[in-house]
Amino acid sequence: MELESDASGLENDILRQLLLTRGVAPEDVTRHISPTLRDFLPDPAMFQDMETAAERIAQAILGEEKITIYGDYDVDGATSAALLIDLLRQLGVEAHYYIPDRLLEGYGPSGEALVRLAEEGSSLVVTVDCGAMAFDALEQARAAGLDVIVVDHHKCAAENPPAVALVNPNRLDESDEAASHGHLAAVGVAFLLAVALVRALRNRSFFSDEKEPDLMSLLDLVALGTVADVAMLKSLNRAFVTQGLKVMARRKRIGMASLIDASRINRAPQSSDLGFALGPRINAGGRVGESTLGVRLLTTQDADEARDIAAQLSSLNEDRRAIEAQVQEEAESQILAQGNHAVQVFSGEGWHPGVIGIVAGRLKEKTGKPAFAIAVDREGGIGKGSGRSISGVDLGAAVIAAREEGLLLAGGGHAMAAGITIESSKLGAFTEFLQDRLANKVDAARASQVLQLDLSIASGGLNPALVEVLEQAGPFGVGWPAPRIAVGPVRIVKADIVGKDHLRIIAAGEDGKSFKGIAFRAGETEMAQTLLHRSKGRRFFLMGRAKIDDWGSRPAAELHLEDAAFAD
């Protein structure tokens, strides 16, 4: 019993230290170990226009108005739209939805589409994951007599757009407490609106004869949209994802269950599955297929339709990968010609606009700098671009500034990601603008980048029990990284390349224990070449993430390698 107590105490110490190193105050550790909505959910009324939006939707429900949800074509947009559609369905209202075509209509609400929705009978439109900067489109909607509520999380201008309500924690006129939730994805903001709407209806005695909707059942959508949109997994977002994964594991949402099956996940989904398996499939519809597929899948009540759409999205995801690989190869050929720019800007005629965001992310990882990938239309000379940034460099603010300078036709985003529409003749000027504005910030951000370690252990310490303890500090993602450990000193017993340029090793420590390690897409890196060809007679410390390898007869721990250093 004493040994068990000591082990339990050690586990608690490790878990506590992990939370403290991620910025959790000592007195706040307990609620972060098992984050719940009860502990983290704010009063939605603190946000500007939240109660106005809730009251307007309540009025539309009671007046049996036609409501349309206007969503973006990515995962955050699809989950946000599905959340409000599901909520309204539970309230006895069949809302309509409109998802623009990425290639034909581009990002955000268009005035033409909004006016058409008004002509077709909608009196209220709720935009989700878009609209914060759609001044012209919303002005056209107002002229057509259409009420629009904007639910967004992207950067805002000093002036708010002409909407009935703008619900966005990144409004410049928000209180400090509300602005502290600026890391929420749009689907998280939509959930707060759902809470506010139920309260508004409750105050109107709507539920005297009706059952209140099950708000917790919506959390699977919130979790998926939050992780797939690469939102920071801190405070409320951690509660959203933790609880949402529990809801997802119950497989109550037909479309979500079919998506999990199509992704070949045969266990309870984990946070990483949302970003690397489920999210990309939903995104594939908007990128290279039909933009409505994600919303249709997540809102269908027909099991056969759900299976068909999930299979279609999986096929489109394979197509997306092939297109992405070609565009990335062409973009990488431009790296040497770019020179030592602080922000890498790549462009190509005929590139598929649906993959440029992914390519920008890959190039950011490859260069260690913010990157833009821009697809230029061969006929019109108009470029659609997507950018991805590094921690410490606010790309969304730079894009808004470039738009205000007249360099862009359209643009917006948030700190880590942004989108633009640009005339090809202004690509050079835009590139120079980014260098002038961000060079010092990029240099400072890169200079401060270090490989932070949470734990240093001998080979024998890398075991399933340790992985289980480390996982208790999850869910992990941007702003809340998975624990990184150092193992060593070790000698490399075997090293080779497997699959698509993955480095595989077997390492043994001085305690006689050995383990497997793998570094994905790292075959050409200096680390890989050293371990492959210059490891004989040398000892190393290996750094990376501890994971469970369950391919064998019993689970074993392995190391997902990120770096290596000589031990002597």
The residue that leads in pLDDT, 337 or 159, is: 159
| pLDDT score of 1 | 32
Residues 439 and 506 in one domain: no
- Where is average pLDDT lowest: 243-257, 258-272, 326-340? 326-340
Q: What is the mean pLDDT of residues 348-353?
A: 92
Q: Which of 386, 416, 447 is the last residue of a domain?
A: 447
Distances in Å between the Cα of 20 and the Cα atoms of 35, 165, 270, 396 are 15, 38, 23, 30
| pLDDT score of 339 | 73
pLDDT digits (tens, 9 = 90+) for 166-198: 999 999 999 999 999 999 999 999 999 999 999
Please count the structural domains in the chain: 3
For residue 209, count other CB atoms closer than 10 A to its CB.
6
In the chain, DSSP finds a helix count (H) and a strand count (E) of: 22, 16
Residue 456, token pair as written in the block: 């240093």
- pLDDT tops 80 at residue 450: no
| pLDDT score of 519 | 95
- Pairing of the two strands 147-151 and 165-167: parallel
- Grade residue 5 by pLDDT with cuts at 50, 70 and 90: very low
Does residue 149 lie within any of the structural domains? yes
Residues 468 and 419 in one domain: no
- Where is average pLDDT lowest: 39-43, 51-55, 382-386, 447-451? 447-451
The residue that leads in pLDDT, 413 or 7, is: 413
State the Cα–Cα distance between residues 60 and 95, nearest whole angstrom. 11
CATH number at residue 134: 3.90.1640.30
pLDDT digits (tens, 9 = 90+) for 75-122: 999 999 999 999 999 999 999 999 998 777 877 899 999 999 999 999
- pLDDT tops 80 at residue 6: no
- Pairing of the two strands 556-566 and 514-519: parallel
Does residue 441 lie within any of the structural domains? yes
Residues 429 and 503 in one domain: no
Residue 352, token pair as written in the block: 């598929």
Q: What is the mean pLDDT of residues 544-554?
A: 83
Q: Which of 415, 447, 479 is the last residue of a domain?
A: 447
Q: What's the mean per-residue pLDDT of the chain?
A: 92
Q: What is the mean pLDDT of residues 217-222?
A: 98
Residues 211 and 349 in one domain: no
| pLDDT score of 2 | 38
Element (H, E) at 541: strand 540-549
Does residue 280 lie within any of the structural domains? no
Residues 231 and 94 in one domain: yes
Does residue 99 lie within any of the structural domains? yes
| pLDDT score of 448 | 80
Residues 188 and 48 in one domain: yes
CA proximity to 391, closest of 324, 445, 432 = 445
* 410-414: strand order across its sheet: 344-349, 371-376, 382-388, 417-423, 410-414
Q: Which domain holds residue 503?
A: 452-566
Q: What is the mean pLDDT of residues 541-548?
A: 94
State the Cα–Cα distance between residues 355 and 174, nearest whole angstrom. 34
State the Cα–Cα distance between residues 474 and 476, nearest whole angstrom. 5
Q: What is the phi/psi pair of residue 418, to 5°?
A: -150, 160
State the Cα–Cα distance between residues 348 and 327, nearest whole angstrom. 8
- pLDDT tops 90 at residue 500: no
Q: Which of 181, 216, 237 is the last residue of a domain?
A: 237
State the Cα–Cα distance between residues 279 and 371, nearest whole angstrom. 22
pLDDT digits (tens, 9 = 90+) for 501-519: 899 999 999 999 999 999 9
| pLDDT score of 289 | 83
State the Cα–Cα distance between residues 211 and 201, nearest whole angstrom. 12
Does residue 9 lie within any of the structural domains? no
Q: What is the mean pLDDT of residues 314-331?
A: 93
- Whether 114 contacts 90, CB under 8 Å: no
Residues 441 and 474 in one domain: no
Residue 435, burial from CB neighbour count under 10 angstroms (0-12, 13-18, 19+): middle
Q: What is the phi/psi pair of residue 566, to 5°?
A: -65, 140
Contacts of 241 (CB under 8 A, 6+ apart): 222, 223, 226, 227, 233, 271, 274, 475, 477
Q: What is the mean pLDDT of residues 13-23?
A: 88
- Grade residue 552 by pLDDT with cuts at 50, 70 and 90: low
| pLDDT score of 10 | 62
| pLDDT score of 287 | 83
Residues 506 and 406 in one domain: no
The residue that leads in pLDDT, 306 or 416, is: 306
Does residue 328 lie within any of the structural domains? no
Residues 419 and 512 in one domain: no
Distances in Å between the Cα of 89 and the Cα atoms of 61, 82, 212, 482 are 11, 10, 12, 37
Task: Give pTM, 2 decimals.
Answer: 0.86
CATH number at residue 465: 2.40.50.140
Residues 459 and 497 in one domain: yes
As beta bridge partners, residue 541 has: 565
Does residue 285 lie within any of the structural domains? no
Q: What is the mean pLDDT of residues 247-266?
A: 97
Residues 464 and 413 in one domain: no
- pLDDT tops 90 at residue 226: yes
Residues 434 and 495 in one domain: no
Among the residues of 253-386, which ranges form H helices? 254-262, 271-273, 279-288, 293-299, 303-332, 335-338, 356-367
State the Cα–Cα distance between residues 300 and 279, nearest whole angstrom. 18
Residue 381, token pair as written in the block: 């000379």
DSSP state of 101: -
Does residue 17 lie within any of the structural domains? no
DSSP E strands in 332-408: the ranges are: 344-349, 371-376, 382-388
Element (H, E) at 451: none
- Where is average pLDDT lowest: 430-434, 484-488, 521-525, 549-553? 549-553
